[in-house]
Amino acid sequence: MNKRGRSRSTPPWPVAIPAIIALAFLVLPVLGLLIRAPWGRLIELLTSRTSLDALRLSLVTALSATVISIAIGLPLAWLLARAEFPGRRFARALVTVPLVLPPVVGGIALLLAFGRRGMVGQYLDSCCGITLPFSTPGVVVAETFVAMPFLIITVEGALRGLDTRLEDAAATLGASKSAVFRRVTLPLIGPSLIAGGVLTFARALGEFGATITFAGNLPGVTQTLPLAVYMGLEGDPDQAIALSLVLLLVSIAVLVGLRDRWLRTGVAS
Amino acid sequence: MRRPVILVVAAALALSACSSAGPSSTSPGTSPATSGSAAAQGALTVFAASSLKEAFTAIGKAFEAANRGVSVTFNFGPSSTLATQIGAGAPADVFASASGKTMDTVAAAGLAPSRSNFATNSLEIATPPASSVAISSLADLAKPGVKVAVCQQAVPCGAGAQTLFTKNSVQIKPVTEEVDVKSVLAKVELGEVDAGIVYVTDVQAAGAKVVGVVIPADHNVTNKYPIAAIKGSANAATAQAFVAFVLSPAGQAALASAGFAAP
CA distance B176 to chain A (A): 5
| Cβ–Cβ gap B177/A117 under 8 Å | no
CA distance A125 to chain B (A): 11
Q: Are residues B134 and B94 in the same domain?
A: no
**pLDDT tops 90 at residue B93:** yes
Return the residue in A104, A105, A218, A233 with the most chain B beta carbons within 10 A, the one to mutate for interface testing: A218
CA distance B187 to chain A (A): 9
On whether any CB of chain A is under 8 Å from the CB of B18, the answer is no
Q: Judging by DSSP bridges, how do beta strands B94-96 and B222-229 pair with one another?
A: antiparallel
CATH of the domain at B65: 3.40.190.10
CB < 8 Å to A222, chain B: 176
CA torsion through residues B53, A108, B159, B168, sign = positive
DSSP type of residue B144 = T
pLDDT in tens, A86-130: 999 999 999 999 999 999 999 999 999 999 888 998 898 888 888
Share of chain B above pLDDT 70, in %: 85
Q: How many domains does chain B have?
A: 2
Mean pLDDT, rounded, for B24-51: 60
Q: Are residues B157 and B203 in the same domain?
A: yes
CB < 8 Å to B177, chain A: 216-219, 231
Q: Are residues B171 and B113 in the same domain?
A: no
CB < 8 Å to A233, chain B: 81, 84
Residue B200 in domain: yes
Residue B262 in domain: no
Under the banding of pLDDT at 50, 70 and 90, the label for residue B6 is: very low
Q: Where are the beta strands (DSSP E) in chain B?
A: 42-49, 70-77, 94-96, 115-127, 148-151, 176-178, 195-199, 211-214, 222-229
Q: Residue B18 has what pLDDT? A: 38
Q: Which domains can be identified in chain A, with CATH numbers?
A: 39-265 (1.10.3720.10)
| Cβ–Cβ gap A117/B192 under 8 Å | yes
Q: Residue B23 has what pLDDT? A: 37
Q: Are residues B48 and B141 in the same domain?
A: no
Q: Are residues B61 and B100 in the same domain?
A: yes
Closest CA to B178 of A222, A146, A58: A222
| Ordered DSSP codes for A34-50 | HHH--GGGHHHHHTSHH
Q: Are residues B49 and B131 in the same domain?
A: no
| Cβ–Cβ gap A235/B179 under 8 Å | no
Residue B35 in domain: no
CA distance B145 to chain A (A): 11
| Cβ–Cβ gap B177/A233 under 8 Å | no
Mean pLDDT, rounded, for B59-76: 94
**pLDDT tops 50 at residue B221:** yes
On whether any CB of chain B is under 8 Å from the CB of A122, the answer is no
Which amino acid makes up residue A14? P
CB < 8 Å to A116, chain B: 191-192
CB < 8 Å to A212, chain B: 179
Tell me the residues of chain B between 100 and 129 that have a Cβ less than 8 Å away from chain A: none
Q: Residue A181 has what pLDDT? A: 87
Q: Are residues B70 and B188 in the same domain?
A: no
Q: Are residues B126 and B214 in the same domain?
A: yes
User: What residues contact B113, with CB distance under 8 A and at least 6 apart?
Assistant: B29, B107, B228, B231
On whether any CB of chain A is under 8 Å from the CB of B149, the answer is yes
- The gap from C-alpha A166 to its chain's centroid, in whole angstroms, comes to 31
Which residues of chain A register pLDDT less than 70? 1-7, 260-269
Q: Are residues B103 and B233 in the same domain?
A: yes
Q: Residue A262 has what pLDDT? A: 52
pLDDT in tens, B141-198: 999 989 999 999 888 999 999 999 999 999 999 999 999 899 999 999 999 999 999 9
Under the banding of pLDDT at 50, 70 and 90, the label for residue B3 is: very low
Q: Are residues B115 and B149 in the same domain?
A: no
| Cβ–Cβ gap A115/B191 under 8 Å | yes
CA distance B117 to chain A (A): 23
Residue B135 in domain: yes
pLDDT in tens, A198-214: 999 999 999 999 999 99
Closest CA to B133 of B148, B154, B119: B148
Q: Are residues B89 and B128 in the same domain?
A: no
| Residue among A117, A222, A230 whose CB faces B191 most closely | A117
Residue A212: CA atoms inside 13 Å, Cβ hemisphere, count?
22
Q: From CA B121, how far away is CA B225, in angstroms rounded?
A: 8
On whether any CB of chain B is under 8 Å from the CB of A217, the answer is yes
Under the banding of pLDDT at 50, 70 and 90, the label for residue B11 is: very low
Q: Residue A117 has what pLDDT? A: 85
| Residue among B80, B176, B191 whose CB faces A217 most closely | B176
* Residue numbers of the domain that contains B165: 121-222
Q: Residue B215 has what pLDDT? A: 95
